[in-house]
């Protein structure tokens, strides 16, 4: 008799998987290779930024009190005693009615407490000496970029677990990290199963299709911040499949298979779990697509059985694999980022299951709109490319209509969310 599986709630499935979460170790890489890696230590300012008071303009450094009486009808002259560009330091001390020509980024000379822009002064020569004439009053501190105004020494600027983006990289350079502490990427083994699978370079023959899930999942692994190890496509044959799964479990931090997890005659993964003595955490979830997503634990390592149906495989990865990878990488927000958007289309058909519809976002003025991309079926492959979010339609006795406010999970986002999507109230028309 065919096994009747009892679907569990999404919340419970996520909890069961996350019980096995673990953190990766730190490794050091060159700053040139740290892009998109996840920081292994907090970045703490070990000096003030900027490290000295500096000029934000090309101009003249002067003493503000000398400008006290300056106005349109009372220009005041200052003698230019030195000139400095960024990277230079003047050793002269500015005295009464003296100025130092200073360029943007140069350290403010001692004695000066403000800067006047080049455009606001008149330069004159008297007796072969250079002067400026100023017709306005300046305040102490005017046009000075103060030491530590950007960051104070000792301040924690970035917490570990953040993905290194161009801004983080700028900070790493600012604080002299030629080597950067990052989290080692987990190695995820990928095994596509199915006797019908052809390699990408093989011509189509009747009854067969090319393996697309393997490549798609590998790409999802990379997008999540991990690396993959590819194993040969496996025909539905128990001994050879078992041996490859064992090998992958030995060689990788976690393993993903695609296909063969349902109740069909050639769906061998349930037998593989049994032979391995793996503990199956669940094999049916109350969701679509991806209801057959199975997760087992074999000697402390997670073994995911993602669906063979491409869209189900895709969604299963984003909901149950991604958070494990992101947690490994020290992310404080390992789940897909949540937002809300207005439905652009009607979904009149009632659906008892929570649906994760591959969708795309558009923006119209201050409104964020969401619409499905392509056919909303678990076995389609063509629509995934256009999806930038998963629209969540909670199971309900009635459908959804245009303009309903719905939850969305952002797929391309790198920030994430502290909590997974677990439950949603029926959207309301506002
Ligand atoms: N009697 C039942 N049949 C099915 C059930 C069920 O509950 N009872 N569940 C259905 C659901 S839901 C899904 S999802 C699929 C899951 O199937 P499997 O995970 O067992 O996957 P396969 O049977 O191996 O393949 C399904 C489908 O996907 C294609 N496929 C497989 N691998 C790849 C790949 N690497 N690249 C592209 N496409 C792939 C395969 O050719 C099949 O068309 O089961 C339903 N059936
Ligand atoms: O797991 Mo199946 O995708 O629900 O279609
Ligand atoms: Mg099957």
Q: Is the CB of 416 under 6 A from ligand 1?
A: no
Q: Is the CB of 309 under 6 A from ligand 1?
A: yes
Confidence (pLDDT) at 9: 94
pLDDT tens track for 10-26: 999 999 999 999 999 99
Rounding to the nearest 10 degrees, give the CA dihedral for residues 234, 237, 238, 243. Answer: -40
Residue located nearest, by CA, to atom 3 of ligand 2: 289
Classify domain 59-134 at the CATH topology level: Molybdopterin biosynthesis moeA protein; domain 3 (2.170.190)
Please state, rounded to an integer, the average pLDDT across all residues of the chain.
Answer: 95
C-alpha 192 to ligand 3 mean position (Å): 13
Is the pTM above the cut of 0.90? yes
Residue spans in the chain of domains classed CATH 2.40.340.10: 337-410
Q: Where are the beta strands (DSSP E) in 283-364?
A: 287-288, 294-298, 301-306, 337-343, 354-364
Give Cα separations from 314 to 182, 306, 318, 326, 361 (angstroms): 27, 8, 6, 17, 18
The separation between the first and the last C-alpha atoms of the chain, rounded to the nearest angstrom, is 49
Classify domain 10-25+185-328 at the CATH topology level: Molybdenum Cofactor Biosythetic Enzyme; Chain A (3.40.980)
Confidence (pLDDT) at 352: 87
Q: What is the DSSP letter of 7?
A: -
Per-residue tokens: 409: 């999970």
Instruction: Return d(Cα 325, Cα 387) in angstroms, integer.
Output: 21
Ligand 1 atom nearest to CA at 2: 1
Q: Is the CB of 292 under 6 A from ligand 2?
A: yes
Confidence (pLDDT) at 423: 56
Which ligand gives the minimal distance to the CA of 305?
Answer: 1
List of residues 6+ apart from 15 with CB closer than 8 A: none
Q: Is the CB of 384 under 6 A from ligand 1?
A: no
Classify domain 30-49+149-183 at the CATH topology level: Molybdopterin biosynthesis moea protein, domain 2 (3.90.105)
Residue spans in the chain of domains classed CATH 2.170.190.11: 59-134
- The ipTM of this complex is 0.98
Going by pLDDT thresholds of 50, 70 and 90, the confidence category of residue 422 is: confident
Task: Name the residue of 312, 318, 381 to mutate for ligand 2: max ligand atoms within 8 A of Cβ.
Answer: 312
Q: Which CATH class is domain 337-410?
A: mainly beta
pLDDT at 424 over 80: no
Q: Is the CB of 316 under 6 A from ligand 2?
A: no
Instruction: Return d(Cα 415, Cα 72) in angstroms, integer.
Output: 53
Ligand 2 atom nearest to CA at 262: 1
Sign of CA dihedral 337, 222, 304, 211: positive
Q: Is the CB of 326 under 6 A from ligand 2?
A: no
Instruction: Return d(Cα 294, Cα 138) in angstroms, integer.
Output: 70
Averaged pLDDT for residues 153-171: 97
Q: Is the CB of 212 under 6 A from ligand 1?
A: yes
pLDDT at 398 over 90: no
Number of Cβ within a 10 Å radius of residue 224: 22
Instruction: Return d(Cα 373, Cα 92) in angstroms, integer.
Output: 68
Residue spans in the chain of domains classed CATH 3.40.980.10: 10-25+185-328
C-alpha 6 to ligand 2 mean position (Å): 14
């Amino acid at each position: 008799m065919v096994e009747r599986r009892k679907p569990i709630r999404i919340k419970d499935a996520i909890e069961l998987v996350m019980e096995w979460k673990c953190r990766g170790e730190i490794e050091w890489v060159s700053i040139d290779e740290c892009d998109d890696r996840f920081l292994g230590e907090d970045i703490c300012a070990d000096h003030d930024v900027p490290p000295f008071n500096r000029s934000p303009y090309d101009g003249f450094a002067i003493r503000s009190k000398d400008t006290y009486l300056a106005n349109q009808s009372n220009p005041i002259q200052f003698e230019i005693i030195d000139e400095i560009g960024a990277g230079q330091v003047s050793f002269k001390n500015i005295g009464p009615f003296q100025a130092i020509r200073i360029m943007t980024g140069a350290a403010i000379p001692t004695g000066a407490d403000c800067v006047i822009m080049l455009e606001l002064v008149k330069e004159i020569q008297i007796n072969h000496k250079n002067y400026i004439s100023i017709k306005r009053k300046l305040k102490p501190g005017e046009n000075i970029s103060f030491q530590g105004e950007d960051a104070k020494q000792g301040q924690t600027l970035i917490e570990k677990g953040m993905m290194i983006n161009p801004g983080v990289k700028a900070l790493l350079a600012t604080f002299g990290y030629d080597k950067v502490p990052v989290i080692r990427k987990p190695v995820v083994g990928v095994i596509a199963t199915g006797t019908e699978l052809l390699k990408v370079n093989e011509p189509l023959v009747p009854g067969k299709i090319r393996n697309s899930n393997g490549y798609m999942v590998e790409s999802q692994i990379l997008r999540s911040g991990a690396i993959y190890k590819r194993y040969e496509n496996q025909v539905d044959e128990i001994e050879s499949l078992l041996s490859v799964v064992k090998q992958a479990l030995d060689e990788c931090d976690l393993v993903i298979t695609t296909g063969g997890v349902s109740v069909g005659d050639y769906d061998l993964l349930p037998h593989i779990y049994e032979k391995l003595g793996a503990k199956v955490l669940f094999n049916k979830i109350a969701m679509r697509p991806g209801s057959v997503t199975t997760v087992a634990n074999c000697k402390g390592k997670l073994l995911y059985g993602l669906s063979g149906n491409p869209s189900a495989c895709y969604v299963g990865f984003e909901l149950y694999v991604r958070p494990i990878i992101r947690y490994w990488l020290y992310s404080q927000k390992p789940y897909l980022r949540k937002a809300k958007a207005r439905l652009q289309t009607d979904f009149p058909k009632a659906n008892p299951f929570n649906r994760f519809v591959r969708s795309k976002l558009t923006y119209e003025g201050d409104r964020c709109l969401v619409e499905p991309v392509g056919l909303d079926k678990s076995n389609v492959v063509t629509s995934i490319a256009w999806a930038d979010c998963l629209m969540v339609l909670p199971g309900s006795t009635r459908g959804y209509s245009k303009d309903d406010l719905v939850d969305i999970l952002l797929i391309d986002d790198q920030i994430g969310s502290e909590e997974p999507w677990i439950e949603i109230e029926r959207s309301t028309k506002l």
